């Protein structure tokens, strides 16, 4: 018991501060990623420009295949070349946003694409305008898929966020790196456990949100009785 | 009401879906577009509400060229029903029916009243059904909602694309009969697409038979069955000719075959009477249900004569002979 107390006495304040930094970084990255990926996914799903669509989806897919460590390194190098800050929040944020884009983009795109075309046609045939179809048919019907994308993206970003400690962006990665360099288990744990806990908590919160946002009518299987 | 003037539609790759089609659907009439898949029947229908634009020719609804109208406003004035999949799964039955009234900006009270009225009209109790979701309904119930939704804003014309296509044969016939009854009350102009010749014969005032984008014959069901315009129509009806004849021939048309018809109304089971407009099939059904050997035939309230079961069967045998004899 006293070991735990001394652990918190020693690392508690720093843990809290790093966790705060981490959440802040992830939150900001997610907001930016959603702002970019959601409208882009909607646009691509509705556009008939097949080449553009496959180019963008392909590019986002390529980013995903680059190891996260390498991606961060690349960004630092590129930032150095164009004389932008190579240390701190900005390069870290760019890396996280790039990583977070794909699951949201892909799920938004496929979510809207999987809406039955005959439903869109009947909506058109009844005299709905394109934006009315988007907001009252396509988005509600693809919301569960879109939310799943945001959820995956958030959990990834929390994990990858620890790497941002390497370039001085703070966060829980700082503690992990400190633990690694000084071979101190308590630092390592002080970084890892909150990161894992954050991932679980956010996953749970977003799962609840997903359930809440799923239209009630989609929760019934076809033909089932009340 | 709906007028096609030399309408053609060529899709990309020079596929001619509809070719030089001219026809008219009169106000209050039910015209069934009949044909196999690829005959251009759905394309023809979708050109009316501009889901597809014709390559050449004009379509007029109520005298106005549809190409000159705002498609959104045009569509809100034309009912539209497709196979059951067309209900919005995330909306309740009431919300589904309310789509067009809401687009038209009806008051909540008016829309609510209309939802209840329509649900009752298609035989679904509003209290039980209006807050349910499509997935909680059977196929037949969903289809009734589809019909109710197409009628929601009381449009003068309704387009129906195989609305009963996804149903089992029994439910389908039930819904067809309900719809025929409903239609006789509401008197809408109906443009109905099907590949099922029996459905066409049952529902239609006139049938437009299409093949490869060309109109082969536009005629009443009886005319189509008795006088096919060309070899294609003849082949299309093919082996169904006999059954179709029993559907399209009414008692009235064969009444002269019964010279010995008794003039006095005999005492029969109350309510067991035939209408002159009944088809031979319906007459046969009535004999089976009532287990009578003769039934009185009425036209409205006027007694026309008695029809014996034996006579009916003899007539049917005669029809069979005729339909077999034809090439």
Q: Is the pLDDT of residue B272 over 80?
A: no
Q: Could you state, in order of their start, the residue ranges of all structural domains in chain A? A: 2-216
Nearest to B213 by CA among B36, B95, B27: B36
B209 and B321, same domain (yes or no) = no
A93-127 tens-digit pLDDT:
888 898 888 889 999 999 999 998 889 999 999 99
Nearest to B136 among A121, A137, A225 (CB): A225
Please report, to the nearest 10 degrees, the dihedral formed by the alpha carbons of residues A125, A130, A133, A136 taken in order.
-140
A2-216 CATH fold: MetI-like fold (1.10.3720)
Nearest to B261 by CA among B251, B248, B269: B251
B67-94 tens-digit pLDDT:
999 999 999 999 999 876 689 999 999 9
CATH number at B22 reads 3.40.50.300
- Is the pLDDT higher at B268 or at B225? B225
Q: Is B134 a member of any domain?
A: yes
Q: Is the pLDDT of residue A226 over 50?
A: no
Say how far apart CA B286 and CA A48 lie, in whole Å: 57
Question: What average pLDDT is seen over chain B?
Answer: 86
Contact B103 A225 (CB under 8 A): no
Q: Is B70 a member of any domain?
A: yes
Nearest to B294 by CA among B279, B272, B316, B314: B272
Q: Which of A222-226, B153-157, B211-215 comes out lowest in average pLDDT?
A: A222-226
Q: Is B244 a member of any domain?
A: no
- The distance in angstroms from the start CA to the end CA of chain A is 52
Q: What confidence category does residue B270 fall into, taking pLDDT thresholds of 50, 70 and 90?
A: low
Say how far apart CA A210 and CA B106 lie, in whole Å: 33
Q: What confidence category does residue B259 fall into, taking pLDDT thresholds of 50, 70 and 90?
A: low
Contact A127 B51 (CB under 8 A): no
Last residue of a domain, one of B195, B211, B236: B236
Q: In A, which residues are within 8 Å of B94 by CB distance?
A: none
Contacts with A181 (C-beta within 8 Å, 6 or more apart), sequence order: none
B231 and B306, same domain (yes or no) = no
Q: Is B7 a member of any domain?
A: yes
DSSP strands (E only) in B203-293: 206-211, 214-219, 274-275
Q: In B, which residues are within 8 Å of A224 by CB distance?
A: 135-136
Tell me if the pTM is above 0.90: no
The total of other beta-carbon atoms located within 10 Å of residue A202's CB is 19
- With left for phi above 0 and alpha for psi between -120 and 50, is residue B105 left, alpha or beta? left
Residue of A nearest to B92 (CA): A217
What integer pLDDT is reported at residue A225 of this predicted model?
40
**Chain centroid, CA A64 distance in Å:** 12
Say how far apart CA A28 and CA B120 lie, in whole Å: 53
Contact B136 A140 (CB under 8 A): no
Considering its fold, how many domains does chain B have in total? 2
Half-sphere exposure of B276 (CA within 13 A, CB side): 12
B6 and B149, same domain (yes or no) = yes
What integer pLDDT is reported at residue A22 of this predicted model?
87
Pick among A115, A116, A127 to test the B interface (most B CBs inside 10 A): A127
Contact B135 A137 (CB under 8 A): no
Q: How far is B235 from chain A (nearest CA, A)?
A: 32
Residues 99-118 of B with CB under 8 A from A: 99-100, 103
Q: Which of A143-152, A187-196, B16-25 comes out lowest in average pLDDT?
A: A187-196
Residue of B nearest to A221 (CA): B135
Q: How far is B52 from chain A (nearest CA, A)?
A: 10
Question: What average pLDDT is seen over chain A?
Answer: 85
Say how far apart CA B70 and CA B302 lie, in whole Å: 51
Last residue of a domain, one of B236, B266, B301: B236
Q: Is the pLDDT of residue B252 over 70?
A: yes
B9-19 in b/e burial notation, b at 16+ Cβ within 10 A?
beeeeeeebbb
B145 and B192, same domain (yes or no) = yes
B156-207 tens-digit pLDDT:
999 999 888 878 888 888 888 888 888 888 889 999 999 999 899 988 999 9
B91 and B187, same domain (yes or no) = yes
* Interface ipTM: 0.80
Last residue of a domain, one of B210, B236, B262: B236
A87 close to A168: Cβ distance less than 8 angstroms:
yes
- The distance in angstroms from the start CA to the end CA of chain B is 37
B141 and B46, same domain (yes or no) = yes
Contact B75 A218 (CB under 8 A): no
Nearest to A220 among B75, B88, B136 (CB): B136
B25 close to B78: Cβ distance less than 8 angstroms:
no
Q: Is the pLDDT of residue A193 over 70?
A: yes
The total of other beta-carbon atoms located within 10 Å of residue B186's CB is 12
B130 and B195, same domain (yes or no) = yes
- Inter-chain contacts counted by CB atoms under 8 A, chains A and B: 77
What integer pLDDT is reported at residue B302 of this predicted model?
79
Q: How far is B193 from chain A (nearest CA, A)?
A: 15
Q: Is B241 a member of any domain?
A: no
B95 and B120, same domain (yes or no) = yes
Q: What confidence category does residue B266 fall into, taking pLDDT thresholds of 50, 70 and 90?
A: low
The residue segments making up the domain with residue B150 are 2-236
Say how far apart CA B231 and CA B103 lie, in whole Å: 47
B94 and B183, same domain (yes or no) = yes
B60 and B150, same domain (yes or no) = yes
Contact B88 A220 (CB under 8 A): no
Pick among A119, A120, A121, A126 to test the B interface (most B CBs inside 10 A): A126
Strand order in the sheet with B2-11: B15-25, B2-11, B56-61, B64-65
Q: In A, which residues are within 8 Å of B149 by CB distance?
A: 126
Contact A126 B103 (CB under 8 A): yes
A34-75 tens-digit pLDDT:
999 999 999 988 887 878 888 888 888 888 788 888 888 888
Q: Is B262 a member of any domain?
A: yes
User: Cβ of B159 under 8 Å from any chain A Cβ?
Assistant: yes
B161 and B67, same domain (yes or no) = yes
CATH number at B290 reads 3.10.580.10
Q: What confidence category does residue A153 fall into, taking pLDDT thresholds of 50, 70 and 90?
A: very high
Q: What confidence category does residue A88 fall into, taking pLDDT thresholds of 50, 70 and 90?
A: confident
Contact A127 B76 (CB under 8 A): yes
Contacts with A28 (C-beta within 8 Å, 6 or more apart), sequence order: A93
B62 and B11, same domain (yes or no) = yes
């Amino acid at each position: 018991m006293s070991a735990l107390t001394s652990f918190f006495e020693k690392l508690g304040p720093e843990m809290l501060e790093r966790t705060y930094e981490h959440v802040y970084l992830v939150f900001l990255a997610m907001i930016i990623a959603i702002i970019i990926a959601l409208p882009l996914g909607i646009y691509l799903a509705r556009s008939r420009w097949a080449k553009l669509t496959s180019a963008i989806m392909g590019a986002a897919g390529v980013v995903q295949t680059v190891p996260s460590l390498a991606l961060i390194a690349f960004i630092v190098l590129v930032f150095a070349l164009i004389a932008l800050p190579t240390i701190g929040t900005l390069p870290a944020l760019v890396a996280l946003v790039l990583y977070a884009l794909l699951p949201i983009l892909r799920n938004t795109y496929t979510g809207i694409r999987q809406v039955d075309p005959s439903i869109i046609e009947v909506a058109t045939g009844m005299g709905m305008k394109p934006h009315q179809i988007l907001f009252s048919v396509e988005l509600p019907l693809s919301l569960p898929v879109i939310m799943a994308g945001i959820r995956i993206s958030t959990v990834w970003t929390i994990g990858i966020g620890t790497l941002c400690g390497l370039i001085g962006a703070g966060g829980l990665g700082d503690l992990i790196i400190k633990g690694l360099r000084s071979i101190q288990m308590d630092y390592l744990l002080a970084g890892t456990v909150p990161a894992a806990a954050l991932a679980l908590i956010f996953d749970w919160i977003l799962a609840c949100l997903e359930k809440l946002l799923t239209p009630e009518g989609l929760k019934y299987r076809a033909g089932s009785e009340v | 009401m709906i007028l096609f003037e030399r309408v053609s539609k060529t899709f990309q790759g020079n596929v001619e879906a509809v070719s030089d089609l001219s026809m008219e659907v009169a106000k209050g009439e039910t015209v069934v577009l009949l044909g196999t898949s690829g005959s251009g029947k759905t394309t023809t229908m979708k050109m009316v509400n501009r889901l597809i634009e014709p390559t050449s020719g004009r379509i007029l609804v109520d005298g106005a060229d549809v190409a000159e109208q705002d498609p959104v406003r045009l569509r809100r004035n034309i009912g539209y029903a497709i196979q059951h999949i067309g209900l919005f799964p995330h909306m309740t039955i009431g919300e589904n029916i309310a789509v067009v009234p809401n687009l038209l900006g009806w008051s909540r009270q008016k829309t609510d009243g209309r939802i209840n009225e329509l649900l009752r009209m298609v035989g679904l109790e509003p209290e039980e059904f209006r807050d349910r979701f499509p997935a909680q309904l059977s196929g037949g119930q969903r289809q009734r909602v589809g019909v109710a939704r197409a009628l929601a804003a009381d449009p003068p014309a309704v387009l129906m694309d195989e609305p009963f296509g996804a149903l089992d044969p029994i439910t389908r016939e039930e819904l067809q009969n309900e719809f025929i009854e409903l239609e006789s009350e509401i008197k809408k102009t109906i443009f109905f697409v099907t590949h099922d010749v029996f459905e066409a014969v049952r529902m239609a005032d006139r049938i437009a038979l299409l093949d490869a984008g060309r109109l082969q014959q536009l005629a009443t069901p009886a005319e189509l069955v008795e006088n096919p315009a060309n070899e294609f129509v003849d082949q299309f009806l093919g082996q169904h000719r006999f059954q179709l004849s029993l559907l399209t021939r009414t008692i009235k048309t064969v009444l002269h075959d019964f010279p010995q018809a008794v003039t006095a109304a005999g005492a029969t089971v109350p309510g067991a009477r035939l209408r002159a407009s009944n088809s031979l099939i319906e007459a046969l059904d009535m004999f089976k249900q009532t287990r009578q050997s003769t039934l009185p035939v009425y036209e409205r309230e006027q007694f026309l004569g008695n029809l014996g079961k034996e006579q009916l069967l003899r007539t049917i045998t005669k029809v069979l002979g005729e339909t077999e004899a034809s090439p």
